[in-house]
Structure 1
Amino acid sequence: MASCIVDALIRNKVIDIQSTSVYQYGFEIFISSVLTILITITSGILFHCLTAAMVYFILFVLLRSVCGGYHAKTYWQCNLTFAIVTTIVLLIFRFMPLEQFEELHICSTIFSILVTAHYAPVESENKPLSANQKKTLHILGTTMIIVLVVISCVLKIKFGSSYSILIDTTLFAVAFSMFVTKSRKGGERENE
């Protein structure tokens, strides 16, 4: 889709051929972003939890932008992975009773805190971070996770809100992404 748009812009002399790669990348990012929003809205409508889907989306994007994590090789793999994770998080939120979430609540919050404190931020190969950026993002990511765990606990204990499930599963998804990425990178280093 991005190629077609860029080709049309070149044919109509809107952009120079030398700028093709920049516009191609920009349109790929834009289209991928629109797809993730559409995936979130569609999942929210299908599972009758549009507000929860939007809360999940905001939390997920904020946490991933600070903590990093798994990056797929193609936009299609990225959007498919996002769709699967979104579906799982929203299914758990929608259908798991709060009373049955006790052990998972404890495990997911502990796992999220430990993984984030140990691994965050997980940098992308295409976007390396300086030592100062790593330190800042580590503190910010760990603080965000702890604050969200506290909010989740308050929602669960004081208000009996299933939004604690949404927060916990979102935290777990981001932490699991960091854990898998770091484990794979560690394995690659050992193989080299």
Structure 2
Amino acid sequence: MKRYTETVVDWMIRQNVINEKEKELYGYALYSAGLLILPLLFAVGIGFCLGSIKRGIALVVPFMILRKYSGGYHAKKFSHCAVDSVLLLFLCIKFSMQIKCDWKLFLVTVIASVSLIKFSPIDHENRKLNETEKYRYKKIVIGLVCSLDALCIILFLHGYHKLIISMCIGIQMTAGVQLPIIIKSMAHNDQKGI
């Protein structure tokens, strides 16, 4: 993706839209915007193919919001990230269309919420957080998880069961992408203890 953003920025320089000094700033802005928009576009496309764009959006929005601050697994290459994301979104949207809004869904969501609160934020090897950022991100994750869980309860009381299912799966998916890093960290800590 970085290559695509660099191509667009180079084109903007050639068109005299921006100057050379602003290349890095605009490159970062385009890259960040792409990372923000792509999951939403993937979810809308998959939701359309499966016959429920609303479910796709309701699932990916909590994921996008939480993922920004919670961290988790990241693929090394953008192409792997895109394929993994599309596959994961497809499976989660399809799953959200098959399950019921019941106590099991809420139980798994509570477990995912507790996991997110306990383990967030998870550093990425390309960008380590300092202690101030970790503290701030932890507080943001706690606030977001509690807000999303409260919103699910309110929506449940008003009968929006399909929407709740998708939102809960989005919360669970965010906790799920943390699992490989958590397991790897625990295995590493066990090896150090031996």
Post-superposition CA distance 1:115-142 (Å, at most 9, x none):
1221011111111111111111111102
Residue 70 of structure 1, aligned match among 48, 59, 73: 73
Counterpart residue identity of residue 165, structure 2: I
Post-superposition CA distance 1:167-188 (Å, at most 9, x none):
1111111112123212213323
The answer on 1:52 being equivalent to 2:55 is yes
CA change 1:3–1:152 in 2 (3 A) is: closer
For residues 165-180 of structure 1, the aligned pairs below 5 Å read: 165-180=165-180
Counterpart residue identity of residue 45, structure 2: T
Alignment root-mean-square deviation, CA: 3.3
TM-score normalised over the length of structure 2: 0.77
CA change 1:6–1:62 in 2 (3 A) is: closer
Counterpart residue identity of residue 151, structure 2: I
**Equivalent residue for 1:149?**
149
CA change 1:187–1:160 in 2 (3 A) is: same
For residues 117 and 62 of structure 1, the distance between their equivalents in structure 2, rounded to whole angstroms, comes to 14
- Please state how far the C-alpha of 1:92 moved relative to its aligned partner: 2.4
CA change 1:130–1:23 in 2 (3 A) is: same
**Equivalent residue for 1:104?**
105
The gaps in structure 1 that reach 5 residues or longer are none
Post-superposition CA distance 1:85-108 (Å, at most 9, x none):
21122112223233xx331322x2
When the two structures are aligned, how many residues end up with a matched partner? 188
- Please state how far the C-alpha of 1:34 moved relative to its aligned partner: 5.8
**Equivalent residue for 1:181?**
181
Post-superposition CA distance 1:46-103 (Å, at most 9, x none):
12221232233322111100111111111122112211221122112223233xx331
For residues 41 and 56 of structure 1, the distance between their equivalents in structure 2, rounded to whole angstroms, comes to 10
TM-score normalised over the length of structure 1: 0.77
For residues 143 and 33 of structure 1, the distance between their equivalents in structure 2, rounded to whole angstroms, comes to 20
The gaps in structure 2 that reach 5 residues or longer are none
For residues 148 and 9 of structure 1, the distance between their equivalents in structure 2, rounded to whole angstroms, comes to 36
For residues 51 and 23 of structure 2, the distance between their equivalents in structure 1, rounded to whole angstroms, comes to 41
2:40–2:61 contact (8 Å) kept in structure 1: no
Counterpart residue identity of residue 65, structure 1: K
Give aligned-pair identity as a percent: 15
**Equivalent residue for 1:140?**
140
For residues 39 and 103 of structure 1, the distance between their equivalents in structure 2, rounded to whole angstroms, comes to 28
